[in-house]
Amino acid sequence: MTDSVKLNAAGKDLDLKVMSGSVGPDVIDIRKLYAQTGMFTYDPGFTSTASCDSAITYIDGDEGVLLHRGYPIGQLAEKSSFMEVSYLLLNGELPNKSELDGFTHTITRHTMLHEQLASFFRGFRRDAHPMAIMCGVVGALSAFYHDSADITDPQQRMIASHRLIAKMPTIAAMAYKYSVGQPFLYPDNSLSYTGNFLRMTFGVPAEEYVVNPIVERAMDRIFILHADHEQNASTSTVRLAGSSGANPFACIAAGIACLWGPAHGGANEAALNMLREIGTVDRIPEYIARAKDKNDPFRLMGFGHRVYKNYDPRATVMQQTVREVLGELGVTDPVFDVALKLEEMALNDPYFIEKKLFPNVDFYSGVILSAIGFPTTMFTALFALARTVGWVAQWNEMISDPEQKIGRPRQLYTGPTQRDFVPLADRS
Ligand code: SDX
């Protein structure tokens, strides 16, 4: 391992420090590069740039490894719960029984929304996309809860974090209820975090809602699979927004906005819509051809990843969960057959092999969410619900970093050089 690299730039010979983490690629410390050379590095899309150091999540894209505070995602998905993983992401260690009970108690008692927030939903059209509602209502939380807005106070940061983790299921369920014209249901503290979400979503005041334990377990596992993922686009958005000292609820609303894009969290909705459009196995070759056609903007949604150049370990767990849930619910869905066949054909196609395109977490999630009863428009809202714990964990890590400063990238300027103003009368 080298402790520095040499660079000759602007006529100077520089020794740039190399920093090593606990695992993964080393980094070249270029913080003084501009001061020493008058030059910037250039990396749109940040394909080779570490924006921070973090101890929360580690991904090895070549090996298909995903660790949360060192624990492999497969073990967490199989043996843990979303509340336990949330505690782990926030605090760095798995909780003991009393810590887990205390954390769950705290989260459970923050699930209610300020009653005035219910009226925010009524300002939306009934056909508003749930992610539009999530952006609006989560942003509106910054107009409430002023007792947890002082980000310099670790106590207030943790209360804001707990409130966000607790209220996202309530807001997501309300967004769904509003879209189908059914009344909102208040949280039920006797239920688990995930059971409470299912009841608020699918329950009605007219009768008791009984949580299906198979669905509850599958939903909880889906939340675990979506909890955090290193410095992805929406997490980077939350970090950048938070770096200015902005209101924590407003920062999470910014993350929701970024996640909505079809290249990111919106891919789960797009993937199921694509599978439904393909419809039958015999139409798969037509879509694979389109995905390979440089003149066709069509991409196989749910395929490919900036980091994973091997299988996304979350897709593996998701596919297994689809099999279990469809089997246990006695549901068959031709879309799942199309998904399995599409994966098989793509993974044997030289284009996808050469470009290292594998199914990602979004490829199968829609099949199971649809089987549970969610409309496709709710899929990304569920992703946002789960990813909120990752966003707040990363936000807390950034704010509590003594070296933290506002994020302010530079640019390669390609516009006009200085020129004098031309009065209107003199313009042709
Ligand atoms: C998530 O970052 C995270 O960790 C995100 C996430 C998380 O948990 O936060 O994992 C969640 O966002 C998963 C990704 C969901 N998005 C999709 O499924 C949308 C479809 N996939 C892509 O658009 C794409 O693969 C990305 C956006 C995911 C990654 O894009 P990159 O890394 O910028 O790669 P690229 O666009 O430069 O593609 C490399 C090549 C290109 O071909 P060339 O220009 O080199 O010839 O691969 C091709 C692309 O055209 N390609 C695809 C493809 N994805 C990439 N071709 C067909 N189908 C695809 N899906």
Full DSSP string of 278-299: H-SGGGHHHHHHHHH-TT----
Residue 381, both tokens: 């809202």
Ligand 1, residue 302: give the atom nearest the CA: 18
Predicted confidence (pLDDT) per residue in 385-409, tens digit: 999 999 999 999 999 999 999 999 9
319 close to ligand 1 (CB < 6 Angstrom) = no
Q: Give the residue, out of 48, 264, 382, with the most ligand 1 atoms within 8 A of its beta carbon, to mutate for a pocket test.
A: 264
Residue 266, both tokens: 């919106």
Amino acid at residue number 238: V
pLDDT for position 215: 95
**pTM, to two decimals:** 0.95
Sheet holding 4-9, edge to edge: 4-9, 12-19, 27-28
Assess whether pLDDT exceeds 70 at residue 1. Answer: no
343 close to ligand 1 (CB < 6 Angstrom) = no
The Å distance, Cα 20 to ligand 1 centre, comes to 28
Q: Which residue has the higher pLDDT, 382 or 364?
A: 382
Average pLDDT of the residues of the chain: 95
Ligand 1 atom 25 nearest Cα: 304
Percentage of residues in the chain having pLDDT higher than 70: 100
Ligand 1 atom 31 nearest Cα: 306
pLDDT for position 2: 72
Phi, then psi, of 10 in degrees rounded to 5:
50, 35
Ligand 1 atom 41 nearest Cα: 355
Predicted confidence (pLDDT) per residue in 115-153, tens digit: 999 999 999 999 999 999 999 999 999 999 888 889 999
Cα 376 to Cα 277: distance, rounded to the nearest angstrom: 13
Residue 39, SS3 per DSSP: coil
Which among 303, 292, 410, 263 has a CA at the least distance from the CA of 351? 292
Catalytic residues: 305, 362
SS3 content of the chain, % helix, strand, coil (to 5): 55, 5, 40
